[in-house]
């Protein structure tokens, strides 16, 4: 079996757990390909030279015959792994080297059993929808204009709020007078959107969430809309440029650019252990029920 390892860095308290992964890999005769900058980090900072069969630097150099891409890190690393996998349909396995993780949900103390379950087929594959950004001018996220979590438009400086004119299938919805606006997928409902009061959606629901960031009018609340709708945004304010983000990638755009967000025509595959569930993750990660009265 071929697998790919993707990561950026991790704390030294994860080192032994990471090395343990290679012990399990060797028992299952796994052929390992690793992200070159991650490999360099391991040698430079961890003083560990893992036995691997090859390297990759991005989507174009990733062997499309690999069975899984293991993302080593947190949810941010997992989002970066999406830009490596793209539409190849290779499932991503999230190994959590830190604490909180909704997508990177395999904790370090679960690694030995989790890897055994994976190599013996004790898992399921979930498909997660993405959003796609289209603009009236080229040059904005041309390399990969998709997001698993959310698209966000922000004011670029600390000046006054911006106005975001919003349309659903060309029908006027609202003009948000706010610091910004988040368009989130169900996967992204537990991320940035949640922090501004957006609802939590079950991952396989077919919706988008529109959540304003610090709106001037307190009666303006997040709204859930079907993801087969196309969302159009036109931004204006005192500045000539604003900030757009797709997950963790950001760039500046001019006020003359119209932004269109729609559901992408492909999905990301995520490996889930049979012992894990989304509802259990909510209880554990968000500490629901952690109260003396319960």
Q: Are strands 92-96 and 68-73 parallel, antiparallel or unpaired?
A: parallel
Please give the Cα distance from 88 to 285 (Å, whole number). Answer: 30
142 is catalytic: no
**Among 23, 40, 63, 75, the one annotated catalytic:** 75
C-beta of residue 214 within 8 angstroms of C-beta of residue 179: yes
Q: What are phi and psi of 185, to 5 degrees?
A: -85, 170
Of residues 208, 231, 210, the one with CA closest to residue 220: 210
Alpha-carbon distance of 91 to 66, in angstroms, equals 9
Q: What is the 3-state secondary structure (H, E, C) of the chain?
A: CEEEEEECCCCHHHHHHHHHHHHHHHHCCCEEEEEHHHHHHHHHHHCCCCCCCEEECCCCCCCCCCCEEEEEECHHHHHHHHHHHHHHCCCEEEEECCCCCCCCCECHHHHHHHHHHHHCCCEEEEEEEEEEEEECCCCCCCCCCEECCEEEEECCCCCCCEEEEEEECCEEEEEEEECEEEEECCHHHHCHHHHCCCCCCCCCCCEEEEEEECCCCCCCCCEEEECCCCEEEEEECCCCEEEEEECCEEEEEECCCCEEEEEEEEEEEEEEECCCCHHHHHHHHCCCCCCCCC
Q: What residues are labeled active site?
A: 75
């Amino acid at each position: 079996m071929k697998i790919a390892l993707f990561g950026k860095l991790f704390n030294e308290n994860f080192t032994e757990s990471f090395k343990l992964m290679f012990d399990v890999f060797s028992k299952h005769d796994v052929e390992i390909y690793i992200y070159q900058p991650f490999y360099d980090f391991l040698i430079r900072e961890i003083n560990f030279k893992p036995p691997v069969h090859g390297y990759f630097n991005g989507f174009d150099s990733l062997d499309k015959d690999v069975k899984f891409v293991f993302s080593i890190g947190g949810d941010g690393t997992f989002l970066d792994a999406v830009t490596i996998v793209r539409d190849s349909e290779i499932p991503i396995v999230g190994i959590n080297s830190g604490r909180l993780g909704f997508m990177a949900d395999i904790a370090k103390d679960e690694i030995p059993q989790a890897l055994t379950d994976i190599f013996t087929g004790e898992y399921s594959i979930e498909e997660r929808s993405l959003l796609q950004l289209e603009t009236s001018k080229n040059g904005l996220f041309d390399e990969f204009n998709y997001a698993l979590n959310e698209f966000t438009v922000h004011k670029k400086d600390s000046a006054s709020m911006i106005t975001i004119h919003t349309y659903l299938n060309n029908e006027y919805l609202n003009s948000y007078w706010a610091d910004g606006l988040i368009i989130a997928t169900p996967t992204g409902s537990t991320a940035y959107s949640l922090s501004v009061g957006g609802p939590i959606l079950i991952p396989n629901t077919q919706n988008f969430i529109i959540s304003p960031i610090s709106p001037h009018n307190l009666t303006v609340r997040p709204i859930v809309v079907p993801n087969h709708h196309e969302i159009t945004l036109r931004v204006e304010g005192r500045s000539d440029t604003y900030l757009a983000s797709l997950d963790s990638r950001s760039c500046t755009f001019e006020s003359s650019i119209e932004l269109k967000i729609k559901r992408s025509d492909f999905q990301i595959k995520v490996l889930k252990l049979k012992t894990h569930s989304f509802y259990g993750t909510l209880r554990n990660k968000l500490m629901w029920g952690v109260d003396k009265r319960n």
